[in-house]
Chains A and B, each alone.
Chain A
Amino acid sequence: MNVLETENLRFVYGENTPFEKVAVDNLNISIEKGEFVGIIGHTGSGKSTLVQLFNGLLKPSTGRVLLNDVDIWEKPKEIRKIRFQVGMVFQYPEYQLFEETVYKDISFGPKNMGLSDEEIDKRVRDAAKFVDLKDSLLEKSPFELSGGEKRRAAIAGVLAMDPEVLILDEPTAGLDPMGRDVLLSHIHAYHKTRQNTILLVSHSMEDIARTADRILVMNESKAAMFSNTAEVFSHGKELIEMGLQVPQITRIMMSLREHGYDIKPGILTVEEALQVLLQKIEKEGAAHGS
């Protein structure tokens, strides 16, 4: 079943001005319930605009966005409700923290939803748990937290709305490798438990390779590819032409394949590559031995 669908979706910035720019052009895609979709594309490819169209922060110039088969702009007055269903974590979300305590900040979204106090409390604590924020931190001012903790608190603020679709725009930007790993594993675990749909926008092909089931490649306002992760990354050449990259490990294994070695395309992780290579080496060892 499709949770999100676009129909001839088009968005133009500054329509009818000299600065007119088409950001999303005639897009027809559908995203299934429970999928983990990676969205890649270089800066200006339209991916940030697209995700803001998904949660009704921007209104399509023409075309429609369907959430569970209903046009999200059917009742423009109720667009706020859509934003609770399609949660959006912006880039550098820690810069939106504003409350006196972390607890209050995380409860901002649920409060706006008009939930009961008990329900809010439950949601705040659940969300904090998902991103591994300790209870003792909840009563602190968000401005006293470390960089990584701030980021996680801000993400918890969106998780607490329990959205059906969660969009994350470069959640790991600016974090060090460890911070990145930890955050990605939190997101992964959240996806596993909640079984909801996640859209991850990222410049890091390694992050996408590790998490996404399918990848949407945006290029010049259009969907250039939309397919499963291994398939997309096996098109290394096309991706590079679009100013994108392929994870280093995928590149290494693809190049061996091109040099005539019998290796399946679309290897995404070091672990996978290791197993394939060990098998080959063993086989050859056995062949030489006999």
Chain B
Amino acid sequence: MVRDITLGQFFPGNSILHRMDPRMKIILMLTLIIFIFITFNFFALGLVVATVVVIVGCSGVPVKLFLKSLKAVIFILLFTSVLNLFYGSGTALWHWGFLSITLAGIYFAIFISIRIIELIFISSSLTFTTQPTDLTDAIERLLKPLNHLHISVHEIAMMMTIALRFIPTLLEETDKIMSAQKARGADMESGNIVQRIKAMIPVLVPLFVSAFRRAYELAMAMECRCYRGGEGRTRMKQLHYSKVDFYCLGAVLIIVSGVILCNIFLPAVMR
């Protein structure tokens, strides 16, 4: 059922990660993600893996949920690692027709799969410990400098806020319309792809009509509440950096320097 899709999948708690300022969280997570992709040997990789283990452990979110988030990418994960397995050059360890596995290929496969897993774990730890609204807030504030480039950051953030608010509503509505059309004998579960897409029309048309109606009413409601864009607007929720944020910043800086040092002084197995 469409209803089962969880969004934002915030997991309430009071861990260090929950208490961090969302802006700092985004910056640090992005930094770590960048450094996952510039690890060239097992020491650097090990350091990042250890960091991710600590992050997952500190998040107060059950490991089961993290593993669940891997489910969505398991296919990509297997596909890319298998592909990379046969990609490397050098002395072949194993032959089968034109396929051959090399040591470099094995390294590639290991690095790629670990990198993907880390990427998923880090981004999940962000979404698990941050309310979606805090995320949009943080993004709005982090992107504020872009205002100078005449990009309306406020509008982007408002769109994200509204999308977050209406996604569950529209999912529920999709469910309802599907039931209503099924009650009229619509068959959405059998047939080939073309037939299935065609079968979705009775759901999509009413859904679009309803989305437009909602948008119209929402715009009216916002105007009634004196919405006039970002100018002169204040916010109830203020974001503040606290001690926790600076400790985490320090920790990440140390890890990052560690990764850089490993990369410089230890032999690279990846390029």
Are A and B close enough to touch in the complex, i.e. CB under 8 Å?
Answer: yes
User: B209 is contacted by which of A52, A84, A143 (Cβ under 8 Å)?
Assistant: A143
B 60-88 to A, binary, CB cutoff 8 A, 1 in contact else 0 = 00000000000000000000000000000
B 201-230 to A, binary, CB cutoff 8 A, 1 in contact else 0 = 110011001100000000000000000000
User: B185 is contacted by which of A93, A97, A161 (Cβ under 8 Å)?
Assistant: A161
B176 touches A90 (CB 8 A): yes
User: A109 is contacted by which of B173, B177, B184, B187 (Cβ under 8 Å)?
Assistant: B184
B180 touches A109 (CB 8 A): no
**Separation in Å of the A198 CB from the closest CB of chain B?**
15
Answer yes or no: A248 CB below 8 A from chain B CBs: no
Query: Looking across the interface, which residue of chain A has its beta carbon closest to that of B183?
Result: A88
Tell me which residues from 169 to 203 in chain B have a Cβ below 8 Å from any Cβ of chain A. 173, 176-177, 179-187, 201-202
The B interface is mostly helix, strand or loop, or mixed, namely helix
Answer yes or no: A108 CB below 8 A from chain B CBs: yes
A 128-158 to B, binary, CB cutoff 8 A, 1 in contact else 0 = 0000000000000001000000000000011
- Say whether, besides A95-B206, A97-B206, A158 and B183 are in contact (CB < 8 Å): yes
A161 touches B179 (CB 8 A): no
Chain A residues, Cβ within 8 Å of B201 = 98
A109 touches B209 (CB 8 A): no
**Separation in Å of the A196 CB from the closest CB of chain B?**
16
Chain B residues, Cβ within 8 Å of A52 = 179
A96 touches B185 (CB 8 A): no
User: A55 is contacted by which of B183, B186, B202, B209 (Cβ under 8 Å)?
Assistant: B183
A 81-115 to B, binary, CB cutoff 8 A, 1 in contact else 0 = 00110011010010111100000000011001100
User: B180 is contacted by which of A90, A113, A143 (Cβ under 8 Å)?
Assistant: A90
B179 touches A57 (CB 8 A): yes
Bound complex: CA A47 to CA B225 (Å): 37
Bound complex: CA A55 to CA B181 (Å): 13
Chain A residues, Cβ within 8 Å of B177 = 95-96
Chain B residues, Cβ within 8 Å of A57 = 179, 182-183
User: B205 is contacted by which of A90, A98, A157 (Cβ under 8 Å)?
Assistant: A98
**Separation in Å of the B174 CB from the closest CB of chain A?**
11
A112 touches B186 (CB 8 A): yes
A108 touches B202 (CB 8 A): yes
Bound complex: CA A206 to CA B207 (Å): 33
Query: Looking across the interface, which residue of chain A has its beta carbon closest to that of B190?
Result: A77
Answer yes or no: A280 CB below 8 A from chain B CBs: no
A87 touches B210 (CB 8 A): no
Answer yes or no: A80 CB below 8 A from chain B CBs: yes
User: A98 is contacted by which of B173, B182, B206 (Cβ under 8 Å)?
Assistant: B206
Query: Looking across the interface, which residue of chain B has its beta carbon closest to that of A98?
Result: B205
Bound complex: CA A112 to CA B198 (Å): 13
B184 touches A80 (CB 8 A): no
B184 touches A112 (CB 8 A): yes
Q: List 16 A-B contacts (CB under 8 A).
A: A57-B179, A80-B185, A90-B176, A90-B180, A93-B180, A95-B176, A95-B177, A96-B206, A97-B206, A98-B209, A108-B186, A109-B184, A109-B185, A113-B185, A158-B183, A161-B185
